[in-house]
Amino acid sequence: MRKSFFSETVREKALSVAGVEKGRTAADIGAGTGFITEGLVRKGLRVIAVDRSEVMLAEMKKKFGGFQVDYCVGDAEKLPIPDEAVDYVFANMCLHHVESPPKAIKEMVRILKSGGRLVVTDLDEHSFEFLREEHHDRWMGFRREDIERWFREAGLGNVSVECAGEDCCAQSCCGEYARVSIFVASGEK
C-alpha cells in the first residue's frame, strides 16, 4: 500500500540525513510494516520497531526474522523504550496520526542518546479533507516552521527542515486526487 503513496526516495533521504552508522541502534516509531526498518537493517543497524498495531508488528516479524529487530507495541506519545537508549529515532508518516505532535517529538528526544539524531518525514500542510476522513489523519500536514520550533523546544540542535524530494500521492474513494509534498526534519540531541 505504501508504494502507491511514495517511493524509497523518502527512506533514502531520511537515512542520509541521519548519517546512520552500522552497528548502532535505531528506533522506528509508527513502524507499520517496516518501510524505515528495512533500510536500517540493510545498513547493519539494530532496530526497535514501535507500532500501536500488533498486526503490523506481526507482519514485520515475518519480513525481518533474520535481523536484529525488537518489536514493541506502543504509542509515539508514550514510548516503551528507556531514556537515552538509541542513537537514532525515525518517524515516517507518523506525526499526522498522533494527538499531540509536540509531545510525541519530546518523547522521541527522551529516548535518544546524547549526540543522537531524530529524523521525521511527514506531509507538508495541505487541504485534502478526504485524507482525514478516509486515512484517519488527525493533522492536515504541518507547516515546516512549526516542526522546526517543536524540535528546538524539545531540546534539539542543528535542526533542519527541508524537502524530501518527493510528493505523497493519494486518491479518495470518490476520485479526488491529492499530491502533497513531503518534508524531512532532523535534529541532534
Domains plus CATH for the chain?
A: 2-188 (3.40.50.150)
Categorise residue 7: left if φ over 0, alpha if ψ from -120 to 50, beta otherwise: beta
- The kind and range of the H/E element at 178 are strand 177-188
Query: Across residues 129-139, what is the average pLDDT?
Result: 84
Number of helices and strands in the chain (H, E): 6, 7
Distance CA 108, CA 87 (A): 11
> What are 90-113's pLDDT values in tens digits?
999 999 999 999 999 999 999 999
Which of 83-87, 101-105, 164-168 has the least mean pLDDT?
164-168
Q: What share of the chain is helix, strand, coil (3-state, %, to 5)?
A: 35, 35, 30
Cell digits for 183?
518534508
Residue 126 has pLDDT above 80, yes or no: yes
The answer to whether 67 touches 43, Cβ cutoff 8 Å, is no
Distance CA 157, CA 159 (A): 5
> What are 41-74's pLDDT values in tens digits?
999 999 999 999 999 999 999 999 889 899 999 9
CB atoms within 10 A of CB 32: 20
**One-letter amino acid of 172:** S
